[in-house]
Amino acid sequence: MAGLLRPAAALDWQMTSKLMQAALGESTADKALLRKRVLAARDGLDDERRIELSLAAAAHGVQAIAFEPGTIISGFFPIRSEIDARPLMDALREKGARLCVPAVVDRQTIEFRELLRGAPLVDTGFGTVGPGPDAKVLTPEIMIMPLAAFDEHGNRLGYGAGHYDRAIARIAAKGGAPALIGLAFDLQQVDAIPAEDHDRRLHAIITESGYRQFGEA
């Protein structure tokens, strides 16, 4: 492309490209520091407190999330110090939800495998467990999402792998538009998260203090 430009225009394009790369690098570094700080705070919760807060969040979530029986809802099994989504998932199942959880297929891809009661669980990558490869793969209509941090605008900071962003993009490419609901502790809210074009904003967040909706995601 630069070979088709006049020298001055080519120089401008190169400078713009370098500035964009520098800005992206700064954003990535900012996110990494923010992620480290928030996860350290989350790690500070003891097990008993984590259970209490998870149950409180589940009580808010099951009252707030409206859906028809048979709706496909993805949840997740907690890793490290994450909030425990299992109480909420159980309550949603009782209301008629068809549950699934993510499984890491490769470094770029996750798929959502149906979670049936009593089905054996296996290692599904990234420190998670879930149904094995013989489980049916579903497309979520509502996604209950883990996260490292969130802000008041619904920006979500994940763990840096981009699995959910790519999964949502694939669903959107097929005409789907799942509701994106974060599940986290209050202490994971930050003032602002640097947002990039590929980042998907949340429609709502569930924490121990309640259910909050954001603007159009």
Provide the pLDDT confidence category of residue 27 given band limits of 50, 70 and 90: low
Q: Residue 144: beta bridge partners?
A: 181
* Euclidean distance between CA atoms 67 and 195, whole angstroms: 29
Q: What is the pLDDT of residue 1?
A: 44
What's the average model confidence in pLDDT over 30-42?
96
* Euclidean distance between CA atoms 202 and 208, whole angstroms: 17
Contact 61, 206 (CB under 8 A): yes
Provide the pLDDT confidence category of residue 216 given band limits of 50, 70 and 90: low
For residue 141, pLDDT over 50 is answered with yes
Question: The pTM is what?
Answer: 0.85
The residues, any chain, with a CB within 8 Å of residue 45's CB and separated by 6 or more, are 53, 81, 185, 187
What's the average model confidence in pLDDT over 107-120?
94
* Tens-digit pLDDT profile for residues 155-185: 999 998 899 999 999 999 999 999 999 999 9
Q: What is the pLDDT of residue 198?
A: 72
* Euclidean distance between CA atoms 74 and 36, whole angstroms: 26
Nearest in space to 104 (alpha carbons), one of 159, 174, 34, 142: 159
Provide the pLDDT confidence category of residue 23 given band limits of 50, 70 and 90: very low
Contact 125, 103 (CB under 8 A): yes
Q: What is the pLDDT of residue 75?
A: 98
| DSSP for 148-177, written as a single string | SEE-TT--EE--SS-HHHHHHHHHHHTT--
β pairing state of 204-207 and 210-213: antiparallel
Provide the pLDDT confidence category of residue 200 given band limits of 50, 70 and 90: confident
* Euclidean distance between CA atoms 23 and 161, whole angstroms: 19
User: Using CA atoms in the order 37, 53, 98, 111, what is the torsion angle rounded to 10 degrees?
Assistant: 20
